[in-house]
Chain A
Amino acid sequence: MSRREPTHAIIMAIVLLGPLMAVPGHVMAQAVQGRTVSSGTSKGLAAIDAGARDGKYTFLFFWKENDQSAQSMYQVFQSAMSKWSDSTYSIGIQLTDANEKPVVDKFGVSRAPMPLVLALAPNGAVTKGLPIKFDENQLRQAFVSSCTAKCLKAIQDRKLVLLCVQSRRTQFNDAAWKGARDFKADARFAGATEIVPLNPDDPTEAAFLKDLQVDPRTPQAVTVLLAPPGQPIAKFVGAVSKDQIVGKVASAQSGPCANGQCGPGGCGPKK
C-alpha cells in the first residue's frame, strides 16, 4: 500500500467507518480498497487487474439486494478486509449494476446464491467461493500458497496439472522432469497440461503437500497428476515416463467408473 493514492485513502476511511454505521447499498457498491486502474467502467475488473499487477489478492463481494443478510455479511467482509488491507484489494459489486456486468458474466454468478464472496489470487485463480454465510476464518482460508494458486488456476482452466515435487536433495529429478516435459510435449495433451514445480522444502507449501499426502521429506522426486475438478488421479514416486502418465490418464478416462457411470453396486467392473 506504499503507493496508495489520495482517493484510496478516502475509500479506506469509508471502509473503516463501515462497521460503525448501517451499510446502505450504494456504499457496498462503491467501497473499493486498493488502487484502481482503468478497465472500462467496471470497478470490479479494475480491482482484479490491479490485484494481478500488484501481486495482491482481490476479494469480490457480490450482492443482489440490500437486505439483512447482505448487510451483516458485508460487515464481516469489511472487518476482515480492513485487517488485510496491505495484501488485498476488495470491492462490493451489486449484480444489477450495469457497469459491473462484465465481472458478473466473467464469473457466471448472476444466478449464484447471494451474498457471495470470491477470492482471487494474483494469478487470477479463484481460491475461495463463499456463498450466503461466512466468517473471517473462512475468508482467511482464501490465502493459499503460490503453487496451490497455480494448480487452482490450471484446474479452473480445465487443464491437467503435473505437480513436480522436487528439490536439490531429491533423487530422480531429471527423469521425473523429463517425463512431465515429454507428456506436455505430446500433441494430445500439450494445450491442456500445466507443469507446476514445487519445492518440498518450502514451508509455505507444507499444507498443500499435506492435502496431497506427499511427505515433504521425500527422498525421491514425486510427480502428482491432478485433473479437474481437482482430484489427484495419480502419484509417481521417483522416475516417471510419459507413457506411465498417459496410461494413468487413459485409465482415468475409460475406467469402470469414469464419468460417474458406475452403479449402485459400487465401482466394480461393468460391461
Chain B
Amino acid sequence: MKLRTLVWRELFERKSQMFTCFLAIVLGITTVVAIKNVTFYSEKAVAREMDSLGANVLVLPKSVTLQDYYSADMHEEVIPEEYVMRLTMSSIQGVDNLSPKLCVPVELQGKNFTLTGILPKEEFRAKAAWGGVGIFARPVQGCGTIDVGGEPKPEDNKTLVRKRVIETLDTHEALVGADVAAALGTKEDDSLTLLGEPFSIVAVLPQTGTIDDSRIFAHLHTVQRLSGKDAVVSCIEIVGCCEEISAGLVDNVNKLLPDAKVVTVKQVVATQQNVNHMMGRLSVIFLVIIVVVGGAGIANYMYANVFERRREIGTLMALGAESGLVLRIFLLKALLLGLVGGITGFVIGTTLAVTLGPKLAGVPVLPMPVLALWAVGISAGITLLASYFPARRAARLDPCATFQEV
C-alpha cells in the first residue's frame, strides 16, 4: 500500500473529530486574516490621510463629534459663514487656504446624494490682504500659499478633492464625484437639476475612495439659498501647510472663534488609530487562541487516534512498516489538514475583509496575497507541532505489545 493511500485513509478515520479540528483551524485563520487585512488598509488610509491632510484644521460647531475627516461636514449643526472672513481678515498665519462647506441631502433619479456647497477662494482671497502693513511682516517659511496671479486653469477644478480648495466656481456650476457621475450617467458639460435649478457640470472629479465620490459640489451661496438656509456653513476646512504652523494655528483659531470647535486631523484620526491598535491586539489574541485551542484539539485528536488504532499500527509494523513510515503517515495527515485549513481560512477571511471591510472600517480593502503564505505557514506549523508527539508515539509502538492486547 502506498504512503499516499495510507495517509488518505488515515485522514478520514474519525471524520467528525477531523472535521471539528479542521473547522477550528479554518475559523481561527479566517478571523486573523480578515482582521489583518482590514487593519492593514485602515492603517494605510490613516497614514495617507495624515500625509496629505496632516496639517489641516477643521472648524466645526461645538456639539459635533466626528471620526472621519472626509465626512466632517455631514451633520445638522451649523456655524456662521462670517467665521470665514474673521479668519481671513485676522493676522493669524496659515489661514490662506480656507474651504467653507455646507451639506444638504438631495435626491436624483431616486438615489440619495449629498450636495455640498463650497465657497471658491476668489470670493475671499483679496480680504487676506486687508490686514494692512502687517501682512508684509509675515515670515516666509517656504511653505506659504504663493499666488502669483493669472487666470486659473480649467483643470484646476479637478484638484478640489486633493487640494480641498477651489479657486473659482460660478453660481450655477457643479462638480460631481466619480460615484455620482457613474450612478447618474453624467459627464462634463452635461446639465443637472439640483433643488429645482439647472446646473452645468464643469468637472467629474477623479475617484478618491472617500465619501467625496458620492458628493455633488456647488457654490455655497447657491446651496444656502436653494436649501433655505441662512449664511451658515457646516464646517470650515483650513488647509494647513506645515505641521509647525498648524500647531500654533489651533490655539490662535480657538482664541479667535471661541464658540466653535477646532480640531486637527490628528485628533480626527486618533479614534481610527485606536481602533486599528485594538484590532492589532485582537488578531494577536486570536492567534494565541488558535495555537492553544486548535493545537490542543489537534493533539488530542491525534493522541486518541493513535490510541484507538494502536492494533492497526502494530499490525502495519509487524508487516514490515518502519517507524519512519508511521511517523510520516501521521505528519503528512497533519500537514494536509494544516494546508487545506490555511488556504480555506485565507480565502474566507479575504472574502469577508473585501466585502465587509469598506462598510465596517470605511476604507476600500483589497486581497493581500502575502497573507496566504502567512495563513498556510501558521496553520501547517500548528498542526505539525501538535501532531508531532502523537505521531512519534505511534512510531514507537511495540507491535508485540499491541498484539498482546488482542
Contact = CB atoms under 8 A, between A and B. Distances in A.
A256 B146 CA distance: 11
Given A156-B129, A229-B128, A249-B148, A211 B137 contact: yes
Contacts of B80: 113
Given A257-B242, A262-B242, A266-B242, A227 B51 contact: no
Interface string A205-217: 0011001100000
Contacts of B369: none
A268 B259 CA distance: 35
Contacts of B54: 263-265
B126 interface: yes
B241 to A, nearest CB: 4
A266 B83 CA distance: 27
Interface string A90-133: 00000000000000000011011110001100000011110110
A112 B82 contact: yes
Contacts of B52: 263
Contacts of A118: 130
A261 interface: yes
User: Which of A114, A119, A228 has the most chain B CB atoms inside 10 A of its CB?
Assistant: A228
Interface string B50-76: 111011000000000000000000000
Contacts of B134: 141, 211
B172 to A, nearest CB: 18
A7 interface: no
Contacts of B124: 108
A261 B126 contact: no
A160 interface: yes
B138 A230 contact: yes
Contacts, number: 165
B85 A158 contact: no
A131 B147 contact: no
A145 B136 CA distance: 13
A267 interface: yes
Interface in A229-249: 229-233, 249
A255 B142 contact: yes
Interface string A175-196: 0000000000000000010000
Nearest to B80: A113
A230 B131 contact: yes
Contacts of A81: none
Interface in B140-197: 140-150, 163
A6 interface: no
A207 to B, nearest CB: 7
Interface stretch (A10-18, A23-31, A147-155): A147-155
A144 B127 CA distance: 17
B97 interface: yes
Interface in A144-172: 144-145, 148, 151-152, 155-156, 158-160
B134 to A, nearest CB: 7
A228 B150 CA distance: 11
Contact of B86 (A131, A232, A255): A131
Contact of A156 (B96, B123, B126, B137): B126
A139 B91 CA distance: 15
A129 to B, nearest CB: 3
Interface residues of B, number: 53
Contacts of B127: 108, 129
A226 B265 CA distance: 31
A75 B59 CA distance: 32
A129 B140 contact: no
Interface residues of A, number: 55
B82 A111 contact: yes
B133 A260 contact: no
A267 B163 CA distance: 16
Contacts of A249: 148
Given A112-B85, A113-B85, A264-B51, A152 B148 contact: no
A48 interface: no
B133 A144 contact: yes
B320 interface: no
A260 B147 CA distance: 11
A38 interface: no
Contact of B125 (A148, A152, A158, A160): A158
A119 B266 CA distance: 39
B140 A233 contact: yes
Contacts of A128: 130-132
Contact of B231 (A111, A151, A159, A262): A111
Given A192-B149, A232-B140, A265 B243 contact: yes
B50 A264 contact: yes
B132 A152 contact: yes
Contact of B142 (A114, A230, A263, A267): A267
A206 to B, nearest CB: 12
A264 B89 CA distance: 25
Contacts of B138: 230-231
A108 B127 CA distance: 9
Contacts of A257: 142-144, 241-242
Nearest to A113: B82
Given A113-B85, A131-B85, 19 more contacts: A108-B126, A112-B82, A112-B85, A141-B132, A144-B132, A151-B136, A152-B135, A192-B148, A212-B136, A212-B137, A230-B129, A230-B135, A231-B136, A257-B143, A262-B143, A262-B241, A263-B243, A264-B51, A264-B55
Interface of B: 50-52, 54-55, 80-86, 89, 96-97, 123-138, 140-150, 163, 231, 239-244, 246, 265-266
17 contacts: A112-B82, A126-B130, A141-B134, A156-B126, A156-B129, A208-B133, A208-B136, A228-B149, A231-B146, A232-B140, A257-B144, A260-B55, A262-B242, A263-B55, A264-B51, A264-B265, A265-B54
